[in-house]
Amino acid sequence: MNLPGTIAAVASSAIRSAISVVRISGKDAFSIADKVFTGISGKKLSACPGFTARLGKICDNKNKEIDEVIATVYRAPKSYTGEDSVEFSCHGGEFIVKRILEAVINAGAGIAQPGEFTRRAVMSGKLTLTQAEAVNEMICAQNDSAHNAALSQYDGALLRRINSIKTKLARLSAEITADLEFPEDDIDRTDISVKIEKLHTIKSQLEETIASYDQGAVLRKGVPAVIAGKPNVGKSTLMNLITQKNKSIITEYAGTTRDIIEETVDIGGLLLNIADTAGIRETGDDIEKIGVGLARKRISDSQLVIAVFDVSEPLDSEDFDFAAKLDKTRTLAVFNKSDLAPQAKITRLEFEHHIYMSAANAESPDELYRKISEMVVDREFDPDSGIIFSLRQLECAKRASVSAAEAVFALESGLEDAAAVCTETAAAALMELTGERITETILDEIFSKFCIGK
Q: Which residues bind ligand GDP (CB under 6 A)?
A: 229, 231-237, 250-252, 257, 279, 336-337, 339-340, 358-361
Print burial letters for 39-73: b (CB count within 10 Å at least 16), e (below 16). Answer: beeeeebeebeeeeebebebbbeeeeebbebebbb
Distance of closest approach, residue 89 Cβ to ligand GDP, in angstroms: 51
Q: Which is nearer to ligand GDP, 115 or 279 (CB)?
A: 279
CA distance 68 to 94: 15
Please give the residue whose beta carbon sits closest to ligand GDP in the complex.
Answer: 234
Amino acid code (one letter) for 310: D
Positive or negative: CA dihedral 207, 212, 217, 218: positive
Q: Which is nearer to ligand GDP, 191 or 252 (CB)?
A: 252
- Residues 6+ positions from 361 with CB-CB distance below 8 Å: 339
Q: Which is nearer to ligand GDP, 112 or 308 (CB)?
A: 308
Distance of closest approach, residue 343 Cβ to ligand GDP, in angstroms: 15
Q: Which is nearer to ligand GDP, 203 or 235 (CB)?
A: 235
CB 119 within 8 A of CB 25: no
Residue 285 has phi, psi (to 5 degrees) of -75, 120
Distance of closest approach, residue 227 Cβ to ligand GDP, in angstroms: 8
Amino acid code (one letter) for 435: G
CA angle, residues 231, 237, 241, in degrees to nearest 5: 145
Closest listed residue to residue 134, CA positions, set 386, 416, 405: 386
Distance of closest approach, residue 364 Cβ to ligand GDP, in angstroms: 14
Distance of closest approach, residue 239 Cβ to ligand GDP, in angstroms: 7
**How many CA atoms does the CB half-sphere of 355 hold within 13 Å?**
21
Distance of closest approach, residue 235 Cβ to ligand GDP, in angstroms: 3
Distance of closest approach, residue 234 Cβ to ligand GDP, in angstroms: 3
Bridge partners of 17? 92
Closest listed residue to residue 77, CA positions, set 54, 51, 53: 51
Distance of closest approach, residue 245 Cβ to ligand GDP, in angstroms: 14
Q: Which is nearer to ligand GDP, 291 or 435 (CB)?
A: 291
Distance of closest approach, residue 258 Cβ to ligand GDP, in angstroms: 11
Residue 356 has phi, psi (to 5 degrees) of -110, 115
Q: Which is nearer to ligand GDP, 237 or 434 (CB)?
A: 237
Q: Which is nearer to ligand GDP, 159 or 227 (CB)?
A: 227
- Residues 6+ positions from 346 with CB-CB distance below 8 Å: 309, 311, 315, 333, 335, 354, 356
Q: Which is nearer to ligand GDP, 236 or 302 (CB)?
A: 236
CA distance 421 to 216: 32
Query: DSSP letters of 62-79?
Result: T--EEEEEEEEEE-TTSS
Q: Which is nearer to ligand GDP, 38 or 338 (CB)?
A: 338
CA distance 273 to 266: 9
Using omega within 30 degrees of 0 as the cis cutoff, is the peptide bond preceding 4 cis?
A: yes
Q: Which is nearer to ligand GDP, 1 or 362 (CB)?
A: 362
Distance of closest approach, residue 365 Cβ to ligand GDP, in angstroms: 13
Length of the chain: 454
Helices 440-447 and 116-123 pack at an angle, to 10 degrees, of 140
